Structure 1
């Protein structure tokens, strides 16, 4: 039980810090059902982002009770089309959310995977960066990766539609 309360205390401090930090534009966080292990996140994507700029995307971060030793899981609840986001579940596939162990496929180094120095802030900033620069070498959504590589115009068109939908315009 001690590690659970330590994790809860750490998460409460990290949430408070993120709410008070004005240097993180475009990220808003709060608790789901007053549960410190489940955060609702709103990402308001900067217009500089080629594909998702101007969009408002909701997601949930679910933290394990042994956080920060193990990473949280992140799932978009707003529909999103991206090579590194499973479709239709919205689960995010990014290296820093992979457990701190050797990659059985040899694709990632241990340094690219989760370490306890990561935080909700670094996760969300990495996901925003991922939205701008997909990793199509290890896609979670093979169809999105193929479209991104082979038909960038159609990929951009689909993303713009998703951005409009995220704003309630469609």
Structure 2
């Protein structure tokens, strides 16, 4: 618990470009809200996406869960908003053989490394291991058509609801 408090203080003292993070409730260090700014020169540019990070009691031994609250159309975010990237997967061997153990969660990862990975995911989706098969198919086959239109709609909606 002290570790999470320390991390929050460090992020407030030394903010990282592209996101901000803080507690949802001052009495609960395990639930955070993050705002992610869509990376420049991507389809997500201009978006302000809200997400929640939920830390397990045994953090940092196990990864937090991340869920977008703002609607987002992305191959690595399922339709419920859950983020599916290697860094958030439980440590150890991947039973499907897609990920190396060093690509998965390690206790050295921080909120900052998670957010940098998420920003990178927005800039460069992983189509080989999609959480949203429909978005992945559109990203591969019609990136500048239907996929781009759906992302643009999500970006507009995120701007309208960013500060609610």
Q: Say which SS state the counterpart of residue 167 (structure 1) adopts.
A: helix
Give the TM-score normalised by the residue count of structure 2.
0.94
Structure 2: runs of 5+ lacking an equivalent: none
> Aligned Cα RMSD in Å?
1.1
Q: Match of 2:6?
A: 13
Residue from 46, 49, 63 that aligns with 2:55? 63
Q: Match of 1:104?
A: 95
Q: Match of 1:145?
A: 136
Give the number of equivalent residue pairs: 159
Deviation of 1:96 after TM superposition, in Å, equals 0.5
Residue from 63, 66, 82 that aligns with 1:74? 66
Please list the CA deviations of residues 58-79 of structure 1 after superposition, one character each: whole Å capped at 9, or x if unmatched.
0000000000000000000000
Runs of 4+ in 1 over 6 A off after TM superposition: none
Q: Match of 1:4?
A: none
Structure 1: runs of 5+ lacking an equivalent: 1-7
Q: Match of 2:110?
A: 119
Deviation of 1:47 after TM superposition, in Å, equals 2.7
Q: Match of 1:130?
A: 121
Q: Match of 2:36?
A: 43
